[in-house]
Chains A and B, each alone.
Chain A
Amino acid sequence: MGMRWAMLGRGRLYFWLLTLPAVLYVVTWRLAPALYTVWLSLTQYNIVYDNLPRWNQFANFGRIMHDRGLGGSLFLSVEFALIATAAELVIGLAAALFFDTDPPGRNLLLGIFLLPMIMVPVVVGTVWSTLFDRTVGPIPYAFQLLHGPTIQWLATPATAMFALLIADAWEWAPLVTLLLFAALQVIPREQFEAARVDGASGWQLFRRITLPQIAGMVLVAAGLRMMDAFLELDKVFVMTGGGPGTSTQFVSMFVYKQAFQFYELGYASAVIIVVLILLAVAYGIYLRSSGRAFRLASP
């Protein structure tokens, strides 16, 4: 996988020059403001009432330690991210495999399947909020018509979480499909033919040929979704506003409230920093092990 740079015929310097614009860009427009966030986390700064940030050392972080709300939020976000990603991988893979079998009208179908992903997230939240709405929504209506149990969909903790998961799967499984489909398309067909000639079953084809070659992309998709689902904000905001009580108050909702409703930028920054450290650690581990897994999976 990693290639000797000499093989590409140019010196290291060339490569550094190639990367430099991107790195500089990210540094100026993303990293530098991010460092501002780090500084803010050490201050008391209510953007409405405080003229300037006031240095208060680690008081914010001390407060985080005692903040039970934050702990709960972290747990909820992890729970949501794990279940959502798992669901999306399964559904996305199934769809990608289906598209790979070249059904008639595949292009159009793929385009349609991608619709949820390209919709504005707030609108997706609104659609599903309306679908589950007990006065206006068709899902409770269907339950009513079929004499099913009357469920307070978005007003009960368990079902609210369930509703959010369904909405998320609907919205993002297409992303997984997009990535996995591209990976599937690259697998040479001869491998399948040869294996079939040798009498391999469908499942064996999948396990021995398909899976290893899309493993890399599966990990990319999983990583992307885990991260984004963890930071999910729009749908929660529209559908439950944090849930009955705080049962769907994800980390992002918590930060949003601190920053945009309470205007406590100092504390919000501290929370962001803590969350990011946790994420960075998780991702470091992920990248290490995915590199290893990828190397193991390659033929």
Chain B
Amino acid sequence: MKGARGRRWRHLVGIALVLAWTLPPFLYLVMLSIKPERILIDRSQVFFWPTFERYRDLIGSGLGLPIWNSLVTSTLGSVGTLVLAGLAALTFSFLEFKWKTLLFLVILLPRMFPPVTTLIPIQLMLKTMGLIDTRLALIILFTGFQIPLAIWVLRTFLDDIPRELTESAALDGASLPVIIAKVILPLSGAGLLAAFILSFIFNWNEFLFPLIVTSFNARTGSVAIMSFTAGYKKLQWGTLATLGVVMTIPVILFVLAFRATLVRGFTAGALKG
């Protein structure tokens, strides 16, 4: 049947395009990371005996704790964000009130502030609370950082929930927490996932604040890995490539592990025909 074959063709072309767009730079990075130093610059040498010593060096330099710190702080930070932002997004979505646009702007504004000038007051605040170099400090900061983004994304998803469902539940006499749990939450799976993934990624890649706030105990992966190249001397293509690969691997694994849930979350819900 022409339709089916045409569709398969289109699928194949599409798949090829997607892979051709995304993979080459990353594969190039991987290739650089295992290319021996002596022939690194020789572009014509595409086939070679790979060397894994860069990875050995990197892992030997004690990345276990920092990466674990990153995982913990990013996840819990995102969870915190979802909770706070979720509640706020409900208000923005379901409620009409006079200063809505303004309040939205006010919440959004801090996101536009480059964190540069807020470093010192935040460092001082954390020091007074005795939280320097703790994971808790990072979790607190991360939760706050992504709230604006999360509110924005969640609100758009919440807007899509048909009001008849919530209205009918309310008319049936359900209280607000019940409405949230039984009606809103199941239908906002996609939104929650999207917001979680986005904030997790931003938290994971956050460099400046962990750099200033932590030193030994709560050091994150991003800081540890960046310091491995230590500025100008070692900032080499090979080392950098290794770095890039190592920093991305955990998140890749995370996304791949959850991809089924991810997509199911998007397609779940009573709304899809």
Contact = CB atoms under 8 A, between A and B. Distances in A.
B136 interface: no
Interface in A18-62: 18-19, 21-23, 25-26, 28-34, 36-37, 40, 47
A146 interface: no
Contacts of A80: none
B117 A18 contact: no
A107 B18 CA distance: 13
A108 B271 contact: no
A175 B32 CA distance: 27
A5 interface: yes
B176 interface: yes
A29 B144 contact: yes
Contacts of B7: 101
Contacts of A164: none
A18 B109 contact: no
Contacts of A2: 94-96
Contacts, number: 285
Residues of B contacting A: mostly: helix
A8 B259 contact: no
Tier of interface size on chain B? 35 or more
Interface string A198-226: 00000000000000000011001001100
Interface in A251-290: 252, 255-256, 259-260, 265, 268-269, 272, 276, 279-280, 283-284, 287-288
Interface in B10-42: 10-11, 14-15, 17-19, 21-23, 25-26, 28-29, 32, 40-41
Interface of B: 7, 10-11, 14-15, 17-19, 21-23, 25-26, 28-29, 32, 40-41, 43, 84-85, 87-88, 90-92, 94-97, 101, 103-114, 116-118, 120-122, 125, 140-141, 143-145, 147-149, 151-153, 156-157, 159-160, 163, 166-167, 169-170, 173-176, 179, 190-191, 194, 197-198, 201, 204-205, 207, 222, 226, 237, 240-241, 243-244, 247-248, 251-252, 255-256, 259-260, 262-263, 266-267, 269, 271-273
Given A1-B159, A123-B247, 19 more contacts: A3-B95, A8-B176, A12-B95, A15-B94, A22-B84, A26-B148, A29-B122, A103-B11, A105-B15, A111-B256, A112-B18, A113-B22, A118-B201, A136-B43, A189-B273, A220-B152, A265-B117, A269-B117, A272-B114
